Chains A and B, each alone.
Chain A
Amino acid sequence: MTKLFERRLAPADSPLAVAGTTTLALFAAMAVAAIFFRYYGVSPIQAYFGLFHEPFATLHGFGYALVRAAPLALVALGTIVSWRSGFYYLGFEGCFVMGAAAAGWLSLSTAPGARLGPLPFALFLPLAVLFSWTVGGLWAGLVAFVRVRLGGNEVLISLMSNYVARLFLQYLVSGPLRAPGSQPETTLLPRGTWLPFLFPGTRGHAGILVAVVAALFVWATLQKLPLGYELIVTGFNPAAARYAGIEVGRRMMLAGFFAGGLGALAGMAEALGSQHRLMDGISGNMGFVGIIVALLSRLNPLATVPVALVYGGMAVGADAMQRRASIPSSITFILESLAILLVLASDILRFYRLNFSVLGRFKWRVSRSQDPA
C-alpha cells in the first residue's frame, strides 16, 4: 500500500529539498503572524511592507537598523567561533554585560578629573577594544577552562554565569558607578569616547564597522589560517583532532577567549555607540538573539552582518509599526521565533516523499464511482 507521505530511509539532502522545506517553514510562520495582524485589523501585506519600509527605505530607520545590527552580528560571530570549535557557549549575555561594563568604566575614567583624564579618541578606542575584549575573553575563557580541565558542562555553567554578570553590573550602577539621581545608572559617558556617528542626522554609529571588520577577521581565521582549521577539526571530531596532534583543550580555551572577546565587543558597541551610559539590563536579550542570528547565518561568519541587519531592521520596523498603528511589536517576536522553530522542524519533512500517484488513483476511483455504467 503506497501512502501519500512515504517515509524515506535517509533525508533528502538536495539543495532543492532544503530550500523547499525552508521556504515552506518561513511561509508557515508568516501565515501564523498574519492571523495576529488581522486581529489588529491590518492587512498582513501592508504589515509586512511596513516592517521593511522603515528600516530599509528611510535613512533615519536604516541608522537605527545599523545600531541594532552591530551588537547582534558581534554576538553571532562569537557564537560561530565557539560552537564551531565544539564549545557550546551560551553566556553571551554575560560577555555583553562585562564588555559594556569594561568599556563604560574605562570611558568614565577618562572624564576630566577622573583617574586617567581625557585621552584622544585614537588612543581611547584601541584601549577600550583591548580592555573589553580581555575582560569578556577571560569571562568566557574561564568557562572553557572549567569544561576542558574539570569536565564541567559548559551549557549549564554559561547559562548561570549570565546572571552573575548581570548582577555584577547591577551592583556597579547602583553602587560605585551610580550617578546622583533616582535611577540606578551611570552618568552620561564623556562625549569624546562615543563611537562616531556614520551619517549626520541618524543614530547609526561606527559599531557596525567593528562588526564588519570582526566578520572578516573571523572568516579569515576560520577559513584561511591553520589555527581555524584546527578549531574546526576540534569541534568536528575531538578524538580525531587529538590523534592528529592538535591540542584540543588549548584550542577550545582559545575559542572561548575569542568568543567571549567578540561578545564583549558587542557590549562595548552598545555602551559607547548607542546607550552612552551603563544601566541594568543594557544587554536587552541581545546575547541570546545574537545566537539566533548565528544559527540563521548557518554559522557562516560572512552572513552574520547581513542577517543581523535584516533582524535588527525588522525590530526597527516593528517599533515603527507600534508607534504608528499601535500594533504591538511583540508580533514580530512571534514571527521571528516561529520562523526559526519551523525551519528547524522542517528538517523532518525531508524524511518523507510525496507520492503523487496516490492522488492519481484517488481521482480515478472517484470518477469511476460517479459513472452509472
Chain B
Amino acid sequence: MNGHSIVVSAFLVAWVSASLRLAGPVLVAALGETFAEQSGILNVGIEGTILLGALASFLASHRTGMVWTSLLVATLVGVAANLFLAWMYVSVRASQVITGLVFNVLALGLATTVYRLALGHSAAPESIAVFQPLRVPVIARIPFVGPVISQPAPFYLTLLLAVVSQVVLYRTDFGLALRATGENPAAADSAGISVERMRYLGTLLSGAGAGMAGGYLVLAQVGLFRETIVAGQGFIALAIVIFGRWNPLKATLAALVFGACDALQLSLQIFGTRVPPQLLLALPYLVTILAISGLFGNRAVPPAALMKPYVKD
C-alpha cells in the first residue's frame, strides 16, 4: 500500500463513520416527525423538543450516571412537552406553524433557565456518563468495516426504529388510520377513525422521537449541555422528512445524505481544499427545496391535510 492510498482510505473511514455519527440524532427526530406529518400535523416544535430532551438527558445522566435511563427520561420529557403542543394543534386548533415556532422560543427559555437553576454557578462543564461506541469483538478488527460500524448503541436503536416505523406506517391498521387522517380527515372520520386521537398520537410520537434525539445528541455525541447544542437540527429533521417523502426508510437514506454532506465539509476543511464548506452544507437544503418545489415534474407531495386543523361538521 503506498502513501497515497493510505491517506485515501483513512479519509474514507473518517468520512463514512462521521456521516453515520452525524445522521443519527436527526434521523430519530425525523422518524417521529414523519408520524406527526402523516397525521396532518406539521410539528415545527421539534427543534425546541430536542433541546428539552437534551437538557433532560444531561441532568438525568448527571444525577444517576445511567445512560439508558437518561435516554428514556429524554424521550418521556419529549412526549410530555408535546402533549401541550398536541393540545394546541388539535384541541385549540391554533396555527401549527405559529405554535411550533413560538414553542421553540419557550423551550429555549426554559432550557436555559432550568440548566442554570440546576447547576448553579459551577463554571466547569460537568462530565456525565455517555454511550461508548460498541466494539463487536471480531468485526471491530476488520479494516474499514470495523471502525465504521463501531457506533454507539443509540445508532443501532435508531436503525431498528426506522424499520419498525416503516412497518407500523405501511403494514398496520394504525398506520393506515394515521395516513388516512393526514390525507383526508373527513373521510377518515366517517370511517370511524377518531381524527383527534390520531393527531394526538402523531404529535406525541414526534415528541418521543425529538426527545430521544436530544438524548442521543447529549449522551452519544457531545457529552455536555449548551443551549446552542441543537442549532437547527430540528429544522434539518423537517427537511429530512420532506426529502425522504414522508417514508421512514427513505428518510433514513435522506439522513445519511445530510450526514455525508456535513461530514464531507468537516473532512475537506481538515484536508484544506478550496471548496467552500458552506456550499456542501447548503447542498442538502437546496436539494430539499428542489424536491418540494415541483421544478422537476414529480414533486414530493405532502399529506393533503398537512397544517389544516380539522373541524367536524
Contact = CB atoms under 8 A, between A and B. Distances in A.
Nearest to A90: B97
A125 B101 CA distance: 34
B98 to A, nearest CB: 6
Interface string A159-175: 11111100110110011
A152 B299 CA distance: 8
B292 A157 contact: yes
Interface of A: 36, 39, 88, 90, 146, 150-153, 155-157, 159-164, 167-168, 170-171, 174-175, 285, 288-289, 291-292, 295, 328, 330-338, 340-341, 344-345, 347-348
Contact of B239 (A160, A170, A336): A160
A168 B278 contact: yes
A344 B98 contact: yes
A289 B106 CA distance: 12
B285 A163 contact: yes
Given A150-B294, A171-B278, A155 B109 contact: no
Contacts of B102: 292, 337, 340-341, 344
6 contacts: A156-B302, A159-B235, A164-B282, A330-B108, A341-B106, A344-B88
B103 A337 contact: yes
A39 B117 contact: yes
B282 A150 contact: no
B98 A328 contact: no
B240 to A, nearest CB: 11
A156 B92 CA distance: 23
Contacts of B307: 155
The interface size bin for chain B is 35 or more
Contacts of A155: 42, 97, 307
B294 A151 contact: yes
**In the A-B complex, the 10 residue pairs with the closest CB atoms:** A333-B109, A330-B112, A337-B106, A150-B294, A334-B109, A171-B278, A337-B105, A152-B293, A167-B278, A344-B94
Interface in B259-313: 276, 278-279, 281-282, 285-286, 288-289, 292-295, 299, 302, 307
Given A156-B42, A163-B235, 15 more contacts: A150-B299, A152-B293, A159-B238, A160-B239, A167-B279, A168-B282, A171-B278, A288-B105, A289-B105, A291-B101, A337-B105, A338-B106, A340-B102, A344-B92, A347-B94
B289 A161 contact: yes
